[in-house]
């Protein structure tokens, strides 16, 4: 059974704190993604990675950075958390298909609250 796990289901942090969200997949997928989900806005792509140490900006990268040191692990970093980063964060992975399209497999999400 394929699996994407996220380190925390719920997280509460204070403004200005550095926050790490971890994601691990066990499917040997090349692609990994970080989204945030907000009411009325759906899922918006923050960053994605198609290989170890590679990263690409998504639609809303401001205030975030990412790290991919190992193929199975993709971390999202909030350098200095702000209240407008309170959201549900979803990690996903997919294989590199070489031309065909593939569904993304999602983790359960981390609900982050920044006070």
Partner 1 sequence: DQQVKQNSPSLSVQEGRISILNCDYTNSMFDYFLWYKKYPAEGPTFLISISSIKDKNEDGRFTVFLNKSAKHLSLHIVPSQPGDSAVYFCAASMDNYGQNFVFGPGTRLSVLP
Chain residues binding partner 1 by CB under 8 A are 4, 9, 31, 35, 40-45, 48, 50, 58, 90, 92, 94, 96-109
CA distance 114 to 112: 7
Quote the least distance from Cβ 7 to partner 1, whole Å: 14
CA distance 108 to 18: 22
Quote the least distance from Cβ 103 to partner 1, whole Å: 4
User: CB-wise, 84 or 100, nearer to partner 1?
Assistant: 100
Q: Which residues contact 84 (CB under 8 A, 6 or more apart)?
A: none
């Amino acid at each position: 059974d394929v699996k994407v796990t996220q380190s925390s289901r719920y997280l509460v942090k204070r403004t200005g704190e550095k926050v790490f969200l971890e994601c691990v997949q066990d499917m040997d997928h090349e692609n990994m993604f970080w989204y945030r989900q907000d009411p009325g806005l759906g899922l918006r792509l923050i960053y994605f990675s198609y290989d170890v140490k590679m990263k690409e900006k998504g639609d809303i990268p401001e205030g975030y950075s990412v790290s991919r040191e190992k193929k199975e692990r993709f971390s999202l970093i909030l350098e200095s958390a702000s209240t407008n980063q309170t959201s549900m964060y979803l990690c996903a992975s997919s294989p590199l298909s070489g031309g065909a399209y593939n569904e993304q497999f999602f983790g359960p999400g981390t609900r982050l609250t920044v006070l």
